[in-house]
Amino acid sequence: MCEHIVKAEEPKLLPGDLAMWIFIFAELLVFGIAFIAYAITRAQNIDIFNQYQLTLNSEIGAANTLLLITASYFVVRAIHAIRLNNVKTCILWLYASLGCGTIFLLLKLLEYYDKFSHGINLSSNTFYMLYLSLTLFHFMHVILGMIILFAIVIKAQRGHYSAENYIGIETGASYWHMVDLVWIILFPLVYIIR
């Protein structure tokens, strides 16, 4: 009975593969430094940042936040489904998440097209350099997250996952949530806070 009590107090293991978590922590460190660099640079160039922040499309920024939050929610639903050994439902939720990710990328491309067609690029000014660098860096992470989710869907369709074995789905889900977590800070920092 004592042994049982001791086991109950043990902390849970990280969901998914530890190697992915090391990767996630490294990614978060890089994004963290970039966010702080943005905030410091803004403090030194307030007028430029306040002026050009108004040119950003906050509707697209908000819509993309809703999409990533919803995509994360769908991934959680997928994990809950696989825990019940419901593979088909799990696959459907993962596809729904990929759908949200695709719309995110399309909206972001629309936003970039608008900026680039107005002659805005990395060398336009300090604000645009940081805005484009941060969002493009995040954009690439969304693509990587979608590639990981797609690989998981393919494996799920081939019957690799079940209620007893779903560590691969947890690993991919953890990365996808990291992409969401970063955007949750990036959106107000770059688009909203003045």
Partner 1 sequence: MSIRYNIHTIWLAMLVLTLSTYIMGKLDFNGIIVTFILLLTVIIKAYFIINDYMELRGVSLLWRIIMFGWLWVICISIAITYIVSL
The one-letter code for the residue type at 154 is I
CB of 41 or CB of 102, closer to partner 1:
41
Q: Both tokens of residue 85?
A: 């050994």
Phi/psi at 4 (nearest 5 deg)?
A: -65, -40
Nearest CB to partner 1, comparing residues 4 and 158: 4
Options 46, 110, 151, 167; binder of partner 1; rule CB under 8 A? 46
7 interacts with partner 1 by CB under 8 A: no
DSSP secondary-structure letter at 164? Answer: S
CA distance 108 to 132: 11
What is the Cβ-side half-sphere exposure of residue 37, based on CA atoms within 13 angstroms? 13
- Does the protein bind partner 1 through residue 29 (CB under 8 A)? yes
Nearest approach in angstroms of CB 174 to partner 1 is 6
8 contacts partner 1 (rule: CB under 8 A): no
The DSSP 8-state label assigned to residue 121 in this structure reads -
181 binds partner 1 (CB under 8 A): yes
CB-based contact 138:183 (threshold 8 Å) = yes
Q: Does the footprint of partner 1 cover residue 69 (CB under 8 A)?
A: yes
Which residues have CB under 8 Å from 52's CB, separation 6+?
125, 127, 128, 131
Closer by beta carbon to partner 1, 50 or else 162: 50
Give residues in contact with partner 1 (CB under 8 A). 11-15, 21, 25, 28-29, 32, 35-36, 39-40, 42-43, 46, 58-59, 61-62, 65-66, 69-70, 72-73, 75-77, 80, 174, 177-178, 180-181, 184-185, 187-189, 191-194
